[in-house]
Amino acid sequence: MQLTMTVLNRCVQFNRVVTHGEEVIKLPGETAARSLEVIYWGLSHGYALDRTAGRAWLGAPGPQGWQWEARPDATKSVAELIAIADDKIEPEFVSVPAQLHRAGPEPSHP
């Protein structure tokens, strides 16, 4: 019973780890870091938004820290996510890009 409760409590903690704010990020292909609005889904992935330039990025943890990939198609949805997190608009389902990484070796195909 104790093990079950520990696992359930850890799941609840993970579900509460959606964080947002501003962060200084150095993006690929740019020489200087800059301050962007960000929202992280635990340690699985995150989104960065440059509202002024109308640009968004999808981030994932990598061997050298967070790796950011430009996602111009996600600018509107990332802005909506951040607005929901800031209680500026009513909550609703928002479709955003994500990547799933499989742990372990890739399966072989005949």
- pLDDT tens per residue, range 13-49: 655 577 889 999 999 888 899 999 999 887 778 999 9
Using the CB atoms, write b or e for 33-62: b if 16+ within 10 Å.
eeebbbbbbeeebbbbbbeeeebbbbbbee
Which is more confidently placed, 56 or 5? 56
> Which range is most confident: 16-25, 71-80, 90-99?
71-80
Mean pLDDT confidence for 77-105: 81
| First-to-final CA distance of the chain | 44
Which is more confidently placed, 42 or 70? 70
Strands (E) in 1-51, as ranges, are 18-25, 34-41, 45-50
User: For 106, which DSSP code?
Assistant: P
Percent with pLDDT over 70 in the chain: 83
Write down the pLDDT at residue 11. 65
